[in-house]
Amino acid sequence: MQFGISIPQCDAFGDVRKLMELAQAAEAVDWDGFFVWDSVLFDDFWRPVVDPWVALAAIAAATERIRIGPLVTPVARRRPWKLARETVSLDRLSGGRLIVGVGLGSPEQWEYAAFGEETDNRIRAEKLDEGLEILLGLWSGELFSYQGKHYRLEEMRFLPTPAQQPRIPIWVAGAWPNRAPLRRAARFDGVVPIKTTGHLTPDEWRELLAYVGQHREGSAPITGVAMGVTPGDDPQRAGEIVTAYADAGCAWWVEDISPYGYGLPWHTSEWPAEMPARLEERIRQGPPRLE
């Protein structure tokens, strides 16, 4: 099992230099992944927010080993060809360390509606699927054209290709227990299920991975990406938690380094004063270890 962290790029962490510093700290204590959220706005409290792709580029240049990426980027509000350029550039800058997490994006009000973008889930899902097809085509380095319901590309070739071959890994997020995101994830490399409250249990993961396996072609297992919170000051308990998820078939544990992972209601105007230091300390305590 590998161990990463997921961190919001807002509020106390809405600063590129701070995210660089935390990524370096995470690498120094042997976390395997450093993943940032991708939101333009979070709510109507107008929190400081930084662009995740600028932050990830800075993180790539400041680190050497740790895997990086957005967790997750809402493909339906991005131009797929621009996203293709960004991801290839970042993968090459990082020496092949990028993982691209994708999803519909939420909450719809602040990801889409506030900017006059489409909020219908069905249409956003269609654009996500088409966007992923375009990413794969443009990443290939071969001549590629596309005629879809939402996007049309004349024949073209995008160069250079990603550092990683055959391509950059794609992790697909979706709200559990919805089945459509799981069928989408079955076509790619990883699955990141999200619950509106709390995190999936090991038994829910067994159910989820069995379902994905039924819809997956080939024999390669999908990468299950579990999210949750472990106590950095209690290694034994932390080990028990992640071992249960490893036994359920998960290949990654991603620590939820956000106030919301620590019980703060989402629609809260201010983080408690001690929260940023508490979250930073959890990063510096290092990842949990399997029992």
Q: What is the pLDDT of residues 39-51, one digit of tens each?
A: 888 777 778 899 9
Give 245: exposed, middle or buried? Use CB within 10 Å, 0-12, 13-18, 19+. Answer: buried
pLDDT value at residue 34: 99
pLDDT at 15 over 90: yes
Q: What angle do helix axes 80-93 and 121-139 make, rounded to 10 degrees?
A: 50
Full domain range(s) for residue 124: 72-168
Instruction: Please tell me the total count of domains within the chain.
Output: 1
User: Is residue 209 situated within a structural domain?
Assistant: no
User: Is residue 126 situated within a structural domain?
Assistant: yes
User: Is residue 107 situated within a structural domain?
Assistant: yes
User: Is residue 10 situated within a structural domain?
Assistant: no
The CA-atom distances, in angstroms, between 104 and each of 55, 64, 169, 184 are 21, 30, 18, 12
Whole-model pTM: value is 0.95
User: Is residue 148 situated within a structural domain?
Assistant: yes
Helix (H, G, I), strand (E, B) or coil at 73: strand
pLDDT value at residue 97: 99
Q: Is the dihedral of CA 272, 277, 280, 284 positive or negative?
A: negative
**Nearest CA to 10 among 231, 275, 194?**
275
- The predicted-structure confidence for 55-114, as pLDDT tens digits, reads as follows 999 999 999 999 999 999 999 999 999 999 999 999 999 999 999 999 998 777 878 888
**Residues 249 and 211 sit within 8 Å (Cβ to Cβ):** no
Taking the C-alpha atoms of residue 159 and residue 152, their distance in angstroms, rounded to an integer, is: 19
Give 271: exposed, middle or buried? Use CB within 10 Å, 0-12, 13-18, 19+. Answer: buried
- The predicted-structure confidence for 123-176, as pLDDT tens digits, reads as follows 999 999 999 999 999 999 999 999 999 999 999 999 999 999 999 999 999 988
pLDDT value at residue 47: 82
User: Is residue 247 situated within a structural domain?
Assistant: no
Average pLDDT value for residue range 210-225: 92
User: Is residue 277 situated within a structural domain?
Assistant: no
Q: Considering the chain, what is the average pLDDT of its residues?
A: 94
Average pLDDT value for residue range 176-192: 94
User: Is residue 197 situated within a structural domain?
Assistant: no
